[in-house]
Structure formats: structure tokens, C-alpha cells
Amino acid sequence: MFEVSFNSPQCGWMSVGFSDGVNEFHTTTAHAPHETALPDLMRILTALATEGGNPTGREGVSSGEYVLPWNRDPEEFDFRFVRSGSDATIEIYEYPTEERDAAERTLVYSHTGPIAEIVRAFGETFDRLYEDRDTDEFEFNWRQPFPYREYEEFKARMN
């Protein structure tokens, strides 16, 4: 069973984890310089589940493949989502610096499974972030507003 965890942000950092019962990946991610990473992730998952569009507005993005840049500082990550029928693959690549040299990237996590399972796992995590946003002082600790519009769109499309 695929599981995703995004823990409460602290001082502009948030720990994230992925597990599928065989492989695990955990790291911390920063709120900057990719300020739209969390809302872009919600847009990508919405598009992945509903088969369409270029949710982040980046050139070269097809409706079956999405790449989300996210940083850790000084390392950077790409979360790559590829749709294949009713399944999707998530690949997480780590770059040693902000230069994002593809020759130096390392695949640190990969999972393939039903899109519904992947979207459900992220949805549970987004729900927890939403429910705890006031208690965790999300906006102060993440140093960005909670992506309400993207969250509501994600929830509406998943229902």
C-alpha cells in the first residue's frame, strides 16, 4: 500500500516521506526557491487523475508526464509523475546542487501503482495538512499561504 507523509512545516522546512511497503524515501524540503511546489503538486495530481492539461504552465509538459521541481538546499529534487493507462509511476530524482545537472542526478525513489491509490495517499496527506493548518501555524511555519484554491480543486475533482 502506497503511503505519503508531509509533516507539519517548521521554520520553512517540511519533512516528506514515501513508502510502498518495499521501498521508502524520506527527506526534508524547503519552501523556497520553488514557492509554488505544494500548489503545483496538487495541480499535477488533479491533472494526473483526470487525464489532462498542463497544470503548472511549463513548456514541454505533456498530459501524461509531469515534473515538479522541489528543493532541499543545497540539494534539489524532481518529482516526476508518468501516467500509463490506469497506473502511474512516481520517480524522485535528487540533484547534488541547484544547477540541476541531469548527468549528476540520482534516482532515490520509484513507485508504480494504480492512479487511484496514489491520488488517495496524497489526498490523505493534504487533508491532514488542511485539518492541522491552524494548530501547526502552517502559513507562518511554511512561510507561504496554504494553497486553498488548489486543495479545493483537488478535493472537488476527486469526489
pLDDT by residue for the chain (159 residues), tens digit each? Answer: 999 999 999 999 999 999 999 999 999 999 998 899 999 999 999 988 887 655 555 544 556 889 999 988 888 999 999 999 899 999 999 999 888 899 999 999 999 999 999 999 999 999 999 999 999 999 999 999 999 999 999 999 887
In sequence order, the 6+-apart residues with CB closer than 8 A to the CB of 56 are: 36, 40, 43, 44, 66, 68
Q: Which domain holds residue 11?
A: 3-158
Write the CATH number for 138.
3.30.2450
> Comparing C-alpha atoms, which of 119, 31, 121 is closest to residue 73?
31
